[in-house]
Structure 1
Amino acid sequence: MVKIGTIELPEFPLLLAPMEDVSDPPFRRLCKEHGADLMYSEFISSEGLIRDAMKSRQKLDIFDYERPVGIQIFGGDEEAMAMSAKIVETVNPDLVDINFGCPVKKVVCKGAGAGVLKDIDLMVRLTKAVVNSTSLPVTVKTRLGWDEDSINIYEVAERLQDVGIKALTIHGRTRAQMYKGEADWEPIAKVKNNPRISIPIFGNGDIDSPEKALEYKNKYGLDGIMIGRAAIGYPWIFNEIKHFFATGEHLPAPTIEDRVKAASNHLTWSIDWKGERVGVVETRRHYTNYFKGIPHFKEYRQRMVTLDNPADVYAVLDEVLEKFSIVSQ
């Protein structure tokens, strides 16, 4: 069993990464149904929360069926981070996570996300401000360092543990790498093996198959894995990994029925949460991934991403089910 404060997770849990414009409640619900053990909101600007910005506030929506769930915040000002943690606490998540890893320029330029990797003292002060302002467990997600010449995760891990974080997730790239190249998990393993470190350490980066998950589990000895991009349009990956861990065998690939059901549920839940117009538009980005690898699918995808009426989209999904079920028989 892995514990984050009072939160009990199964042995070697699989975490869903917080992803901007992806990890909203409908997507999290799909991943939860398919085996994710701990999930996080999209990252939320501390300044936006304090200003009562509508988009930031909406990201605070969490539901009991997705627990345990954390809300992730980012920012570069101690007072704003402390205040936003208090706001987060009012919606009663299971934990608060701090983003010190987002490499996107508009975040970094504000001295937030991975921008804080340049200033460990500031990172420590921001973390301490959050820890001191909430009774919830506080966790952190970060990267190895700013670039190859400033990999500082060893010092970061010790100092953040010292100010009270309850778990640390490390993406095996520097900010300079963005999402390019191969994630390096060796430094993450060194953090885990540091005798001073007693909190759970989770690895993140490039896990896209059950085989790789098992290889990294055995090779690096971490407490769990966080999965991000590989879950987009493929929530089945969590249960596939768990089944492979338990049996050494693969679950059958999702059928066309499974894919249509996932896409249909995603659309329904998005409409329920965001309203019809926004729900329809924001689900469009997921269809390509749900039906990835299916030959001769372009026409159907094109229709799904241009139709505005939910009934019309559901009708196309029914067509897909009918046509491709026959093809696969």
Structure 2
Amino acid sequence: MNDADQVQTTSVFEVARLARAVLDQVGTVVVGKRDALELVLAGILAGGHVLLEDLPGLGKTLTARSFAQALGLDFRRLQFTPDLLPADVTGSFLYDQRSADFTFRAGPVFTNLLLADEINRTPPKTQSALLEAMQEKQVSVEGVTYRLDPPFHVLATANPIEYEGTYPLPEAQLDRFLLRVSFGYPAREEEWEVLRRRMSRRQEEAELAPIVNAARLRQMQAALEDVVVEDSIGRYIVDLTSATREHASVLVGASPRGSLALLLLARAKAALAGRDYVIPEDVKEVAAPALAHRITLRPEMWLRRVDPAFVVHEVLDRTPAPASGALPSYASGARAV
């Protein structure tokens, strides 16, 4: 049986079962953040990259490492610093004295899951070294192009309040992240549970047994193509994205890539819920994570400390959600009812 046949045998309901097992496994280490963890897994299932933006010490790095272990993926961590060079990300050619020729030494980007830690601490030239890898799934070095083996995902972390010695991500790179996720401080009982589990395992690092592997993850990702999106849901997605461009507080709204992000993440949320069709609530749940980081506010809004997520929630309140039983027009032989 070839890989394509294996992908066809995976159902959306099997994806839901495996995803729950992965989340349960990660939840044994990352305490009390089930909704945020679901968003991260939805981003991975949708084939995208995730920006984890939050204060230090709230489990961003731990989350990335835990997902890599539970998903059975090759994992590398790259600490972004002001002196990091593009070759430190992509790799470079080195002279081999034995062969009297230059050989390519692959950089840390050649992995399944790359943790780009504190991505906003490195200059734009190095940040841009990830752009080709994130969008095209390939790396070009000295005119030679190297394909990245799938699956390939970037989980990047950033500190949203510390600006000294940082380089804000340009809009072009922010747009490459399928969604942005924040964890926030844990509740008191959750924080005590973190301490209790640390004492119980008697060591700092927690090792998680893999639930799936890279090949199985690709099958799960392919199964999302079977999740049906009815026409009115698709138009609702377009209406939401378009409304961000017309909002009075917005200078630049979300691009069509934002609409695509909503579509892909809504499919992933439906699959996580064990459904092979998308409902409006799926779109609403992922709207802020998918669109907020794609919005540029007017300068006067910065002074008022308006959050782009607030704009997205206003757009959600103003845009009527559909209630339709029609079949999607893109499906073969579909007919509206």
Fold in common (TM above 0.5)? no
Q: Which has the larger radius of gyration?
A: 2
TM-score if structure 1 supplies the norm length?
0.30
- Give the structure, 1 or 2, with the largest relative contact order (CA under 8 Å, sep 6 or more): 2
